[in-house]
Chains A and B, each alone.
Chain A
Amino acid sequence: MNKPILNVKNLTMSFGGLKALDDVSISIEKGQIAALIGPNGAGKTTFFNCITGIYEPTKGVVEITPPGKNTQSLRGLKPNYVTERGIARTFQNIRLFHGMTVLENVMIGRHCRLSSGIIKAMLQPPSQKNEEQKAVTDSYEILEKIGLEKYVNDMAVNLPYGAQRRLEIARALATDPFLLLLDEPAAGMNPQETKELDDLILWLRDNENLTILLIEHDMKLVMSLSDWIHVVDYGKKIAEGTPEDIKANSDVIKAYLGDESDDA
């Protein structure tokens, strides 16, 4: 059997006395759309932050096996190196670069795939010009795929909300990832936009050979989209399985709706 593309074992993250994540193990197979769900404050975003290097986990193993490459550990790497290894993410609260145009936002994603340094930027030899031109066309193509090409020279901050969310995905795509982490991509979207997002995520999996892990509260989206669902509550993993398994799982229902005996 193939090794899982992302293998997280016994991940623990403590902030002082608080264990935001407690012994969580999750593995994701290539080509999967996996979802990470759980009530508010369950530690989902902390999990993302631990993988992408924004936090260094207190304990545990974070390993990736990029397609056609050897297994390597991500633990303790800075966020930019994690991105270079091929993991891209979006943010729960949109974090676009306001002072830049839509195209430049995507070009930032190309950053770690470009090689020209300061001297080259100042002297602009042909190699740098070609690379720059290619970055522009590549970024534009990504915008076309995501369906944002009409905004290409607009300032990112002026975009409609749904488009901003999509731009975050476009920017993440520009880093050439094999694994895409989406943190609540549908938050604040209307049903129409959610439907389009649904299509986009499926399209990304099928046409860009991406593996996707998403955090989402929109259960309809999660259930229709995911191949495999992981559930966390109070920093602990309480269940995993197919959408059908999860729907029927009593622990999950208890985590979301509360235990009847608790109410007394």
Chain B
Amino acid sequence: MAIKNQIKQSLIIAFWFMILTFPIMVIKVNTIRHTIDFRWANLVGVGIVTFFASMTWNYFLRRNEDQKKKEMDDDIPLIHRLLQNDRFRRPFLGVVAAFFLAYPFVFPMYHTSIMISALVYVMLGLGLNIVVGLAGLLDLGYVAFYAVGAYAYALLNLHFGLSFWVVLPISALLGTFFGVMLGYPVLRLRGDYLAIVTLGFGEIIRIVLENWDSFSNGPRGIGDIPAPTFFGHQFNQENTMVYIYFIVIGLVLMTIFFVNRLENSKIGRAWIALRDDEIACQAMGIDKFKTKLTAFALGATWAAMGGVVFAAKTSYINPMSFTIWESITILCVVVIGGMGSAIGVIAGALVLILLPEYLRAVSEYRMLVFGALQVIVMVFKPDGLIKSVRKVYTFNVQEKAIHEQTNT
């Protein structure tokens, strides 16, 4: 019976699509001969394709539900199981490390450049993951902090000749400062209201940069931003790209290292508690304002550092790099990757940033494929590509006995 129903449903959908696409797929006005051509073959094509697409969609949807019922409890993503298993952990990490180390030497500069962008997004994603994934604060203006970092480097270098390595920590602090600046007034908001205000903030920063000509050079942007130097040594163009690549790798590793530590600390637990239940969280003795503020500030810190790298890599920035779409992309990285899951965010950034680059071959349908993929991920993996797994504590009975002995 189920099959019969499904065929019926798919037929209806196919029929609906045929009507829906009729004006664009079937009717064609021939402006030269002043006639209207009806391309009936297209109508049949749309019907057949939609019917089969709908059938497959339903099939996967049902299979997905069956699987969910089966493995409610031990639904731990494969990669986490790999990392938890000591036998696979080292070889796995070794392969990953080798791949990323060899990458710039194996692939041409163009690919290195794309990978740098993707890795910058890994940083941004991990930063936003603190705000959205862990603390549950929907921030749509995250790109503002990215802009703060990029412009900090460009301007400090232009006016004071400060180098990349000097600006990197300065911009991190600036990011923190701006995070607090934005965080403070919006602490009382949550959910949709917070999203709207942060959205506004993001736009304010961009519009200020666009219009304050004497400060930021307006829409013309700032060019000739120098690449980072290696103890004063300037590489040629190709080696600079490799050098920046390794700087980003270093920064990403540092980000993973710190974010991972934060996640399983007092403050990380407070973020998740805040996300899960604000009232209970306060009743457990957690300062709501302080916790929100630290989430905002730390998220902004990493965005600003990402901005510095971005400016150094492209050597030219203008306000058009920091539009709302950038915020949305970073948010997609976090949501599709897996909210609150560092590995998920990394995977999300690599997939979401690399995929469009390599889909340039089918550039006409690039955004279509991209959008479809996002919908598919959200339907079949609502927790993201790799969902978060909480730390497992082991209790050694012997150790506990010793602990008790020392207590008494």
Contacts and interface: CB of A to CB of B under 8 A. Distances in A.
A140 B395 contact: yes
A80 B272 contact: no
B389 to A, nearest CB: 10
Given A54-B279, A83-B285, A99 B269 contact: no
The 7 A-B pairs of least Cβ separation, nearest first, read A112-B285, A121-B265, A83-B285, A95-B280, A97-B276, A79-B282, A95-B277
A46 B262 CA distance: 36
A109 B393 CA distance: 17
A107 interface: yes
A155 B391 CA distance: 11
A121 B284 contact: no
B175 interface: no
Interface string A135-161: 111001000000000001101001000
A171 B281 CA distance: 11
Nearest to A113: B285
B287 interface: yes
Contact of A122 (B262, B284, B391): B262
Contacts of B261: 121-122, 124
B393 A97 contact: no
A250 to B, nearest CB: 37
Contact of B280 (A91, A112, A114, A116): A91
5 contacts: A83-B284, A96-B280, A98-B276, A111-B284, A128-B265
Given A99-B275, A137-B400, A153-B393, A158 B73 contact: yes
Interface string A45-76: 00000001110000000000000000000000
B270 interface: yes
Contact of B267 (A53, A99, A118, A135): A118
A240 interface: no
Task: Give the size range of B's interface with the partner.
Answer: 35 or more
A153 B282 contact: no
B262 A121 contact: yes
B268 A121 contact: yes
A111 B285 contact: yes
A89 B272 contact: no
Given A111-B269, A137-B403, A175-B284, 13 more contacts: A80-B285, A83-B284, A91-B283, A97-B281, A100-B390, A107-B269, A109-B284, A109-B285, A111-B266, A121-B262, A135-B266, A140-B393, A153-B390
Contacts of A121: 261-262, 265-268
Interface in B270-302: 270, 272-273, 275-277, 279-288, 294, 298
B340 interface: yes
B258 interface: yes
A114 B266 contact: yes
Interface string A103-120: 110011101111011100
Contacts of B98: none
B392 interface: yes
B285 A152 contact: no
Given A97-B272, A99-B340, A171 B284 contact: yes
B392 A112 contact: no
Contacts of A140: 393, 395, 400
Interface of A: 52-54, 78-80, 83-84, 88-89, 91, 95-101, 103-104, 107-109, 111-114, 116-118, 121-122, 124, 128, 132, 135-137, 140, 152-153, 155, 158, 171, 175
Interface in B209-227: none
Nearest to A133: B403
Contact of B393 (A89, A103, A108): A103
Nearest to A95: B280
Contacts of A111: 266, 269-270, 273, 284-286
Nearest to A175: B285
Contacts of B279: 54, 79, 91, 95
Contact of A89 (B283, B287, B294, B403): B283
Contact of B286 (A80, A99, A118, A155): A80
B341 to A, nearest CB: 11
A97 B271 CA distance: 11
A96 B281 CA distance: 9
Interface string B393-404: 101000010010
A152 B390 CA distance: 12
A175 B273 CA distance: 15
Contact of A83 (B276, B283, B298): B283
B328 to A, nearest CB: 24
A98 to B, nearest CB: 5
A88 B284 CA distance: 7
A108 B390 contact: no
Nearest to A154: B73
B118 to A, nearest CB: 25
A227 B277 CA distance: 33
A217 to B, nearest CB: 21
A89 B270 CA distance: 18
A19 to B, nearest CB: 23
A83 B284 CA distance: 6
Given A114-B266, A121-B267, A104 B284 contact: no
Contacts of B403: 137
Contact of B392 (A54, A78, A153): A153
B265 A80 contact: no
B390 A104 contact: yes
Contacts of B280: 91, 95-97
